[in-house]
């Protein structure tokens, strides 16, 4: 049997990161079994369709590294087939007309059950299922009818989706059985919760792939992180490449308990991926990110600054906060400045040769000895005067990049406003 799965978002807004995790599970399963992964836009409820959503869905998946087989299609493309099958079900007395709509007959006894590949055996008492409308009076198919018809027509072998679809499954099973179709394997992945134990939503911050991209996360790190939301290869491994994810992913290792979206872990993981990049690759990623954000900073200057932040930041979006002092004026807090320290620093650095981090380090450490003060006492006002912040990349490297003239000017200005 050739594995065939489908990713089936609805075009009702930007692609939620929890949904992307489920799409990733589909994609990993298909690619790991040499199968196919289809993209279907479930647009039966046209009144909720957002015009920009489809393009955003495609762009988000491509950026993350998730591709699909064949052309993307819309669920309503199969409306004629749905109407034809509904007419057949009426003719076979498996469905009936009701005020212009068509309802399918639900079983009245026993249970509707399936062996879920993640959750195990699930049963729904038949007497709790009401006869379901499958075609509205205007001829449009409802979701719980169109979706299984499409799965049947598309030859879907595995329906891997979120836990919130469990209640839809018995209805869709009844539809497929009425059609005489073979049932796919159902696998319901756990929900993704925020750290407050509630289902992930806008209250938890960024919820779309685009927002994570804009914050400076990179695609390989985000893919790795999302794959571990509810799945683990062995309980120990955390950094896993795209190819290894494909090779190792199994439904058997997907847990049934809700997964927690831990931003601190994502930041850590993103930092690991960023630090693992070669110098040029890191600078390229940084430049691409800044251009996407509309930055007009000088490219050569960005490349010069890239190495001094690579070990410091976990997201590309933090770059501006760390090295903004290289691209514009600063406003140091006078309360953190020290006139004596800054005046002495300017004097010692005025004649430093060569102007590089190693020589600057020697001079500033000598300044500490001259003043009889600990480095942290001396370096804080220098850092604040030069960068405008308590936190910055390495002090010596920062001063080297800023240049002699700008550094001396800031040290002297700082001395003049020290509080």
Q: What are the pLDDT digits (tens) for 317-346? A: 999 999 999 999 999 999 999 999 999 999
Give the separation between CA 203 and CA 164, rounded to whole angstroms: 19
Count the neighbouring beta carbons within 10 Å of the beta carbon of residue 192. 24
CA distance 384 to 258: 45
**Torsion of the alpha carbons at 305, 311, 315 and 316, rounded to the nearest 10:** 20
What SS3 state is found at 91?
helix
Instruction: Report angle CA 249, 253, 258 to the nearest 5 degrees.
Output: 115
Neighbours of 307 (CB within 10 A): 15
pLDDT computed for residue 77 by the predictor: 85
Domains and CATH numbers, the chain: 4-71+192-260 (3.40.50.620), 75-189 (3.40.50.620), 279-319 (no CATH), 334-417 (1.10.10.350)
Non-local CB neighbours of 76 within 8 Å, separated by 6+ positions: 43, 44, 46, 140, 146
Return the pLDDT at 338. 96
Residue with tokens 């509205």: 136
Rounded CA-CA distance 4/110 in Å is 31
CA 393/CA 379 separation, integer angstroms: 13
pLDDT computed for residue 207 by the predictor: 78
122 DSSP β-pair partners? 114
Q: Please state, in angstroms and rounded to a whole number, the distance separating the CA atoms of residues 52 and 302.
A: 33
**Which pTM was predicted?**
0.91
pLDDT (0 to 100) of residue 49 = 55
pLDDT at 48: 52
List Cβ neighbours of 132 (8 Å cut-off, separation of 6 or more): 103, 104, 106, 142, 144, 145, 171, 174
Phi-psi region of 113 (alpha: psi -120 to 50; beta: other; left: phi over 0): beta
Question: In angstroms, how far is the first alpha carbon of the chain from the final one?
Answer: 76
Residue 358 contacts residue 396 (beta carbons within 8 Å): yes
| The token pair that represents 319 in the structure block | 């770059």
Return d(Cα 37, Cα 27) in angstroms, integer. Answer: 6
Q: What percent of the chain has pLDDT over 90?
A: 84
Give Cβ neighbours of residue 179 (< 8 Å, ≥ 6 apart). Answer: 85, 89, 148, 149, 152
- 162: phi > 0 → left, psi -120 to 50 → alpha, else beta; which? beta
| Close Cβ partners of 39 (under 8 Å, ≥ 6 residues apart) | 6, 7, 58, 61, 68, 72, 73
The pLDDT averaged over each successive group of 10 residues in the chain (419 residues) is: 90 79 97 96 65 82 95 88 97 97 97 97 95 96 95 97 95 98 97 84 73 95 97 91 97 93 95 97 97 94 96 95 95 96 96 96 96 95 96 94 97 94
Tell me which residue has tokens 């195990």.
Answer: 120
**Helix (H) / strand (E) containing 95:** strand 95-98
Measured CA angle at 263 (ends 260, 266), to 5 deg: 100
- 3-state SS, residue 132: strand
Separation CA 109–CA 45 (nearest Å): 31
């Amino acid at each position: 049997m050739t594995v065939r799965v489908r990713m089936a978002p609805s075009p009702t807004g930007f692609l939620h990161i929890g949904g992307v995790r489920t799409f990733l599970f589909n994609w990993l399963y298909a690619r790991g079994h040499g199968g196919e992964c289809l993209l279907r836009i479930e647009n039966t409820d046209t009144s909720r369709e957002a015009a920009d959503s489809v393009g955003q869905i495609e762009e988000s998946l491509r950026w993350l590294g998730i591709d699909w087989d064949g052309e993307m299609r819309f669920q309503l493309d199969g409306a004629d087939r749905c109407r034809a099958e509904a007419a057949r079900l009426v003719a076979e007395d498996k469905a009936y007309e009701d005020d212009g709509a068509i309802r399918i007959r639900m079983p009245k006894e026993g249970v509707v059950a399936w062996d879920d590949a993640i959750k195990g055996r699930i049963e729904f008492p038949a007497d709790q299922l009401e006869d379901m409308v499958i075609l509205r009076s205007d001829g449009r198919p409802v979701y719980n009818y169109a979706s299984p018809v499409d799965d049947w027509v598309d030859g879907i072998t595995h329906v891997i989706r979120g836990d919130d679809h469990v209640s839809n499954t018995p209805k869709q099973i009844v539809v497929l059985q009425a059609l005489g179709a073979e049932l796919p394997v159902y696998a319901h992945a756990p929900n993704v919760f925020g750290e407050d134990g509630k289902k992930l939503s806008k209250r938890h911050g960024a919820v779309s792939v685009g927002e994570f991209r804009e914050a400076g996360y990179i695609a390989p790190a985000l893919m790795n992180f999302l794959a571990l939301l509810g799945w683990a290869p062995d309980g120990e491994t955390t950094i896993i490449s795209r190819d290894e994810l494909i090779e190792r992913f199994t439904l058997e290792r997907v847990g049934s308990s809700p997964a927690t979206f831990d931003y601190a872990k994502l930041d850590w993981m993103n930092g690991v991926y960023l630090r693992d990049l070669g110098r040029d690759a890191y600078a390229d990623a940084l430049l691409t990110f800044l251009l996407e954000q509309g930055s007009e900073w000088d490219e050569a200057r960005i490349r010069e600054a890239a190495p001094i932040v690579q070990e410091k930041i976990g997201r590309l979006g933090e770059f501006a906060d760390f090295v903004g002092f290289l691209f514009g004026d600063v406003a140091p807090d006078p309360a953190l400045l020290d006139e004596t320290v800054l005046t002495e620093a300017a004097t010692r650095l005025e004649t430093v040769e060569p102007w590089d981090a190693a020589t600057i380090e020697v001079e500033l450490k000598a300044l500490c000895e001259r003043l009889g003060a600990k480095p942290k006492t001396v370096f804080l006002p220098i850092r604040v005067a030069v960068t405008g912040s308590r936190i910055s990349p390495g002090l010596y490297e920062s001063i080297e990049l800023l240049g002699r003239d700008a550094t001396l000017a800031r040290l002297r200005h700082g001395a003049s406003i020290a509080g």
